[in-house]
């Protein structure tokens, strides 16, 4: 047999690799390489500590805060001078729906970018509040864009639109508060450092009065092109409580243990822009199963716009067991919003 023949025969008799396995692939070695790469990445992150807190605030959070603040500034301008279906952008009037949708898109992008950040562990609490702020602002302005679009196309009742606007404002207030918490947390973390990074001031509605009903009602009237009605009459019943102080609440029923004279205590507020000369605060109590309702009232005088007052109503006698207490205000002459004029509670009275 020739030399060539012997080589061919040897190759023919050589062991073949198992089916499905490439010749020459060294899987144990590949596995070691992959595992080593993972350890290198994790080790580098552990060594360098991930994102640095100061750089995270300056390079990641601050730019987003500044962009969000810019949206808030133009939004406040819109609230100050609404003009129906148009918004003044620079020197040009543009469709309100188009502008608001653009602002909402900006706010949504800011929130999404915030959610994708990788925060240092030391700033996790501040970062969570920052994300909540951006999400709340984006949600509120998106709802506002939808509401304005409906108003432009369909119109709307001023009282109903005002109530919707009040609900939307809660998103903006939530956003401002969450941002303030984040800002304070960042400040506390870097306190004592020579040149500490900080989050810039960022707010959409700094004054509480801007989100109260009279201010929102005025905005809605301007938005709808309705005539300005001076002297808005509106009172609200803010709180309802009892004396003796309840010992707790069970399944929505206030638990009250008899101790001395029973009284109903409420807080009322003039949320309109006209003084209230006389207001009747009326309370009623009806024990469960009774056919008669006990009634008592107190007259309140001289309540200035924006003023609050605590009022006590006596003369009601709960029966042992379940009782229903209801308090109502007015309504005042000319008052259109009476939804916040009444409150009730169920109480379980025991000796």
pLDDT at 144 over 90: no
Domain coordinates in residue numbering, the chain:
53-224, 235-350
pLDDT at 41 over 70: no
Region of poorest pLDDT, from 32-41, 74-83, 134-143, 334-343: 32-41
In three-state form (DSSP H/G/I as H, E/B as E, the rest C), the secondary structure along 111-148 is HHHHHCCCCCHHHHHHHHHHHHHHHHHHHHHHHHHHHH
Report the pLDDT value the prediction gives residue 83, as an integer from 0 to 100: 59
pTM of the entire predicted model: 0.54
Q: What is the dihedral of CA 56, 57, 59, 64, to 10 degrees?
A: 120
Report d(CA 248, CA 257) in Å as an integer. 10
Residue 271 zone, left/alpha/beta (φ > 0; ψ -120 to 50; rest)? alpha
Domain 235-350 -> CATH class: mainly beta
Q: Is 319 exposed, middle or buried (0-12, 13-18, 19+ CB in 10 A)?
A: middle
Q: What angle, rounded to 10 degrees, do the helices at 213-224 and 124-154 form?
A: 40
In tens, the pLDDT along 308-336 reads: 999 999 999 999 999 999 999 988 887 88
> If you ran DSSP here, which 8-state letter would residue 230 be given?
S
Report d(CA 314, CA 294) in Å as an integer. 11
The pLDDT confidence band at residue 8, using thresholds 50, 70 and 90, is very low
Report d(CA 199, CA 66) in Å as an integer. 9
Q: What angle, rounded to 10 degrees, do the helices at 124-154 and 62-80 form?
A: 30
Q: What is the dihedral of CA 330, 331, 332, 338, to 10 degrees?
A: 130
Report the pLDDT value the prediction gives residue 34, as an integer from 0 to 100: 53
By C-alpha distance, which of 243, 233, 295 is closest to 266? 243
Report the pLDDT value the prediction gives residue 4, as an integer from 0 to 100: 47
Token pair, residue 177, equals 């508060």
Share of the chain above pLDDT 70, in %: 77
Report the pLDDT value the prediction gives residue 268, as an integer from 0 to 100: 93
Report d(CA 82, CA 85) in Å as an integer. 8
């Amino acid at each position: 047999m020739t030399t060539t023949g012997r080589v061919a025969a040897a190759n023919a008799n050589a062991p073949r690799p198992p089916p499905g396995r490439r010749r020459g692939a060294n899987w144990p070695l590949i596995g070691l390489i992959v595992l080593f790469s993972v350890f290198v990445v994790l080790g580098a992150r552990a060594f360098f500590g991930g994102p640095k807190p100061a750089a995270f605030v300056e390079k990641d959070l601050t730019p987003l805060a500044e962009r969000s603040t810019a949206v808030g500034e133009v939004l406040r301008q819109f609230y100050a001078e609404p003009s129906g279906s148009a918004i003044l952008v620079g020197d040009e009037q543009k469709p309100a729906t188009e502008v608001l949708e653009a602002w909402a898109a900006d706010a949504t992008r800011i929130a999404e970018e915030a959610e994708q950040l990788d925060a240092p562990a030391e700033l996790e609490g501040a970062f969570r509040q920052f994300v909540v702020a951006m999400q709340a602002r984006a949600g509120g302005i998106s709802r506002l864009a939808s509401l304005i679009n409906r108003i432009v196309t369909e119109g709307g009742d001023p009282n109903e639109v005002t109530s919707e606007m009040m609900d939307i404002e809660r998103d903006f207030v939530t956003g401002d508060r969450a941002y303030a918490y984040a800002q304070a947390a960042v400040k506390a973390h870097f306190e004592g450092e020579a040149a500490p990074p900080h989050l810039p001031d960022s707010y959409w509605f700094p004054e509480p009065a801007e989100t109260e009903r009279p201010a929102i009602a005025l905005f809605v009237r301007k938005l709808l092109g309705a005539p300005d009605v001076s002297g808005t009459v509106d009172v609200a019943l803010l709180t309802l409580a009892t004396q003796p102080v309840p010992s707790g609440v069970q399944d929505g029923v206030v638990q009250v243990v008899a101790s001395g004279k029973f009284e109903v205590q409420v807080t009322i507020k003039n949320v309109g822009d006209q003084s209230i000369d006389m207001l009747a605060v009326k309370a009623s109590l009806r024990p469960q199963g009774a056919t008669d309702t006990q009634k008592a009232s107190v007259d309140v005088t001289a309540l200035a716009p924006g003023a609050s007052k605590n009022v006590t109503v006596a003369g009601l006698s709960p029966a042992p067991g379940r009782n229903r207490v209801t308090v109502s205000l007015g309504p005042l002459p000319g008052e259109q919003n009476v939804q916040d004029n009444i409150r009730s509670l169920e109480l379980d009275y025991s000796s």
